[in-house]
Structure 1
Amino acid sequence: MTHSHPAISSSVHADAHRLACDAFSIDLLSPAVAASDAAFAPPEWVHLIPAGVFSGRDGRGPFRLDAEAVIKAFAAYGADLPVDYEHQSLSAEEKAGPVPAAGWIKELQAREDGIWARVEWTPAAAQHLANKEYRYLSPVFRHDRSGRVVLLEGAGLTHNPNLYLKAAASRKETHAVEDLIERLILMLNLPTASTPEDVVAELQKIIDRLNTAEAAAQSRQIDPAEWVPMSQHRAVAEQLAAMQAQIAAEKAEAAVTAAMRAGKLAPAMKDWAISYASKDPEGFASWAEKAPAILPPETDRAAQRVASNADTLTEEDRIACQLLGMREADFAAHKKTLIKE
């Protein structure tokens, strides 16, 4: 869209965006406006932009009035719009002398037939019109790429009225902005008829995606105060497992030793008992509590070692006697026989 700040900025030459519009521009000297030349006074309200779709004499267009947008832009601008001579204000920067105004647009109204403006004419302009030195009034407005008229910038008294299509600033700036918009449309792979607003919206989507990706990346950053390297974590876990295994083994060893001292385990059963106590400490404790004593308590066995047959029977021999149901005397005699042989 040809556009700039709502304030009327510097202009583009007439031939840059000119629309011949004799069929549309207002004839300020027509009978509908002035009853007679003798009593002529410039009209206070003038019809500047027609409603609906319209085109210029030179074929530019079609254009379509967005009356609501034009009224809102004027209200946002908050100042009068100029009416000049032959659109000289559009090239005011190139003028060596003053560029006087013919009047000022004080108010806009949206009516059924388009945009109307209340103009406060200067005495000089009123005299020019009364002398028929000027006759036509031609508006200056802005439009987007689709031809939608969105902003009024002023008007000009002219001999050969045309619709002037205002660009962003000067002609050079206009071309630069339009070239930039076209390049962005190509780079963003947008439809060729896209407006600057479409380009801005697409760029905003890209910015939003980048911001989201950056926020996600920051959320994934590791806080050294809360995280440790995996190798260190693995080493600590291995040390903990080793400590737990050692404690379990010591507990199993202690439980088996206690059971053996109580006479509930023979020495030959020690390996089985340790395996059981290591895998299921509670199960082994329950078994040891309920198991009958198959050997005298350790204190009793110590006393028996000094009793008779102590010279021939070992502690293991006596346990074997109990398991086999043999009398120690018979076992000792048999043992002596084996030794002699």
Structure 2
Amino acid sequence: MTTHSLHTKPRVAACALRVQVTDNKTRLMPAGTFHAPRGAAEGTGPWHLSAEAAQAIIRLAAARSTDIAIDYEHQILYSEKNGQPAPASGWVDPRSLEYREDGLYGTVTWTAKARAAIEEGPNGEPPEYRYLSPVFPYDANGVPLDLLHLALTNTPAIDEGAAQLAAARMAITHDVNVDAQEIDTVKREQLIATLGLATDATDEQIDTAIAALKAAKADADAFRTALGAKDDAKPAEAVAALKASSATAPADMSQYVPVEVYQEATQQLAALKSGSETAELDALIKEGLEDGRIPGQKTADWLRKSGLAACKAHLAEAPSIAALKTTQTQGKPPEGKDTKGDGKLNETELAVCKAMGLTPEQYRAANPA
């Protein structure tokens, strides 16, 4: 693919062609070699639109986020100078561009006013506007590089000042490789003034300023996106949105505590939990001793060491021993009856053995007489 570098000064031109609609598409730029009309004040041509150059323009247009504007009498170029509005007469869908043998075509949506102005009257009266004039930058070989916008006009020439402004805008806003191109404008002073640089600014300083403008635009777009602001929101509106978002959701400091306070409360809660579990364990062991599910103190001590969960599991499975519940001595031999020495188990102890599945010898080994 052939690449084109800009002329030593970026140029912007306007040409004219009759408004021509075919298959619901309008011719926007002629193919082949064409010249500026008589009376054009900027850019005389010749220019050369080939299929290859047209495809490059089509790719640029497809990347646009907005439609291509058609105004009246190139007012887009003059509105800043004369203070007048630049109403659209129509819009070109940038993704509709296609190249045909006689030029670059696109789908145009005309306003009602513009459609009435370009059509003949019911009795053959001539239209108010005959010509469509594209505004485009071109390289040193006269090859169009892009389609900036168009105008309905009967005098398609643009003056020198408007061409300078369009060239400066093209250099700033178009995604061109400034490192591989010289930017030494038609009126270099105009671009330098637009960028706010010193009159003796170098090419490097111009390149840096253009890059900074692009970066600032990207940052602004990202900022607007983050705030949910509209794409066309002005900086002041974006800042107002940021203030509003922060004002609507202030931090409620009453919902937060210092980490030291949190840690102290956690320790106190753990201590309370431990004390509560100890009290519950003591109560369960006492209850188990009383109803016979815990046969003796040694078993009680073992359960106390095993913890609350083990004690609950034991009590849930151990049967209540009636002999221990009815005796007033809670399984101990009656006073005055000495069972020590003979190693035999009394009735209560035998009941415990039966309930727990122990032999008398196993019981006596765990509970010496």
TM-score range, shorter chain: 0.3 to 0.5
| Larger relative contact order (CA 8 Å, sep ≥ 6) | 1
Larger radius of gyration: 1
Give me the TM-score of the superposition, normalised by structure 2. 0.37
Give me the TM-score of the superposition, normalised by structure 1. 0.40
